[in-house]
A and B are shown apart, each in its own frame.
Chain A
Amino acid sequence: MNTQLFSGKINANAYFKDVFFKHSWETISESIYSKNSEDVLAALAKENTLTLEDFKALISPAAAPFLELMAQKSAAITRKRFGNTIQMYVPLYLSNECQNICTYCGFSFTNKIPRITLSDEQIIEEAKIIKKMGFDHVLLVTGEANQTVGTPYLKHSIQLLKPYFSNISIEVQPLEQSEYEDLRREGLHAVLVYQETYNEEHYKIHHPKGKKSNFEYRLNTPDRLAAAGIHKIGLGVLIGLEDWRTDSFFTALHLSYLEKKYWKTKYSISFPRLRPFSGGLEPKVIMNDRELLQLICAYRIYNEQVELSLSTRESAKFRDNVVKLGITAISAGSKTNPGGYTNAEENLKQFEISDERSAPEIAVLLKQLNLEPVWKDWDNGISGIG
């Protein structure tokens, strides 16, 4: 299996599927679990760019005893590259309508909950509250319901929110390249689209119905995004669905492919761990805190420039400690239900958050850690040019 691929050349007409389907889940998995401490130490000793084989070693069980060393290296690289700063963002849930069945999600089609899509007035209300919390970077989230929250709705929402926020990102259903181009011209900066799992067989079990059940369409979404000139693309898997090490390898493979082919695009990675929601799926694989830290450090040591984002899914204690060790962006004070900032109602959430502290509280904490919270690092006027 050639995982040195990216020292080679990528065909201009290739899509990620062309690379992906050359790899077998089982072979990759076996290869990760067969790494030994010598492989780990060799990866940690490297001065030059690490290979995907090095990344495998860093996420393998063999790396567990070297976590302190990894954390030190990851912290130093992050500090040099990103300085003593942390980017601040907040999610804004626009809708929980969804025609997909996803076994792990609170918005799943078969979940009997009231469905809400925010009106113009409600969106503005939410925006005003979020602004007061201090945020200037907002992440718009919806389910997949093309009749109500398709591209026209998203475009309109961006138009509504542009006067309030300098940086607008979305985490919604995969779209066509022309739709992404359309949204970019309105001021869209980044798009997050997680593969959930790169295990094709099990992907189909977790997504039995709806457009999301098309594994390959989702797999090629970052290609369409980059071709549409979107400035930043967020990758990730939902940790807990399948073996996180193998899934993370494929995430890193995806990242490396994209970086080499679409050299002008920025990338970020998130590592959401499956959180409970009412009537939800229990994680198949539990990833503990040590393992999540190992993964964060592995990504950083493997790739100096990728942005690493941590949400309020994680506990206050964990966040307070790892924020210095490789993370570059965090959310705070998040609500995961549409209208959540305006109404204190606790139902309709996509998942339960863990760190419930407010944005100002987090800002104070960051300052105590000698980190500067960065609230603004973009101007949405730039997105629409070209």
Chain B
Amino acid sequence: MDKLQIADKLFNSRLFLGTGKFGSSLLMKDAILSSASELVTVALKRVDLKSNEDDLIKHIQLPNVHLLPNTSGTRTAKEAIFVAQLAREALGTNWIKLEIHPDPKYLMPDPIETIKAAEELVKLGFVVLPYIHADPVLCKRLEEVGVQSVMPLGAPIGTNKGLASREFLKIIIEQSNVPVIVDAGIGCPSQAAEAMEMGADAVLVNTAIATANNPVEMAFAFKLAVEAGRRAFLAGLPNIQKNAAATSPLTAFLEN
């Protein structure tokens, strides 16, 4: 399958994983391995920066797996920039998943704080991957600011509602000059496949895997779905016809 490039990194897998909600770090590790994911995001607030042996980090340090720290828990651009800098210093990566959701109920990303933080972080030399609403104009604005990808939501985080933002995702994918990673809301492999068929460059999944009865099997199922969706997209899906199109009643007279 074709590789995905974000900034200077190439990825064989187009499935990215979140690390929250797992019943144990070991289970998380097994799920990551089973998914073949090469980019795994972790909330900096969960990482014990004082310890060299942080349990979460220890279980993510795997061959070919890149760490993507995120700013989850922050409510403002200032807080997010602070967390990004902590992450760069402690984890030795300038990649940051920018997540600013001041609303603890639906965890909706704040577009104003996000663009402010993105602009500043790009200037500070970060590779910025912002989690945002499926807002095509915001995506273009972020692209102008210099982010390396956009991460629009399918549905609110953790809801498993799938691609509720479908129509806007299509516009974003059509217009974007940076990779589009559909993040949040993907609740089952078929929804991940749908996002890939639409032309998304990658998807990020957490809740659907972490809270499955068998997270390791579910991670593998997502791997297959993402690959299937990508292959289908590359193969070129036929257009969907409203009716069967065997005859041409309106233009048949031209044949005579």
Contact = CB atoms under 8 A, between A and B. Distances in A.
Interface of A: 79-85, 136, 166, 231, 259, 263-267, 305, 367, 370-372, 374-379, 381-382, 385-386
Nearest to A81: B158
Given A83-B211, A263-B103, A305-B105, A378 B73 contact: yes
- Which 4 A-B pairs rank lowest in CB-CB distance, beginning with the nearest? A83-B21, A84-B23, A370-B23, A264-B102
Interface in B118-163: 158, 160
A84 B78 contact: no
Nearest to B85: A381
Given A379-B49, A385-B79, 12 more contacts: A84-B24, A84-B210, A136-B48, A166-B45, A264-B102, A305-B105, A372-B22, A376-B48, A377-B45, A379-B86, A382-B83, A386-B79
5 contacts: A80-B158, A83-B210, A84-B21, A84-B210, A264-B103
Nearest to A76: B211
B47 interface: yes
Contacts of A85: 20-23
B25 interface: yes
B83 A84 contact: no
B191 interface: no
A264 B75 contact: yes
B48 A79 contact: no
Nearest to A307: B104
A382 B21 contact: no
A374 B43 CA distance: 12
A381 B20 contact: no
Nearest to B72: A377
Contacts of A372: 22-25
B55 to A, nearest CB: 9
By secondary structure, the A interface counts as loop
Interface string B49-83: 10000000000000000000000011110110011
A150 B21 CA distance: 39
Contacts of B83: 379, 382
A136 B46 CA distance: 11
Contact of A84 (B46, B158, B211): B211
Interface residues of B, number: 31
By secondary structure, the B interface counts as loop
Interface in B180-234: 207, 210-211
Given A82-B21, A379-B83, A381-B86, A265 B45 contact: no
B211 A376 contact: no
A381 B82 contact: yes
B44 A379 contact: yes
Contacts of A259: 105
A292 to B, nearest CB: 25
A327 to B, nearest CB: 15
Contacts of B102: 263-264
A370 B24 contact: yes
A265 B103 CA distance: 7
A80 B74 CA distance: 22
Contacts of B74: 382
A381 B75 CA distance: 13
Given A83-B207, A265-B104, A376 B46 contact: yes
Contacts of B23: 83-85, 370-372
Contacts of B103: 263-264
A165 to B, nearest CB: 10
A231 B105 CA distance: 13
A265 B83 CA distance: 19
Contacts of A386: 75-76, 78-79
B133 to A, nearest CB: 16
A263 B108 CA distance: 11
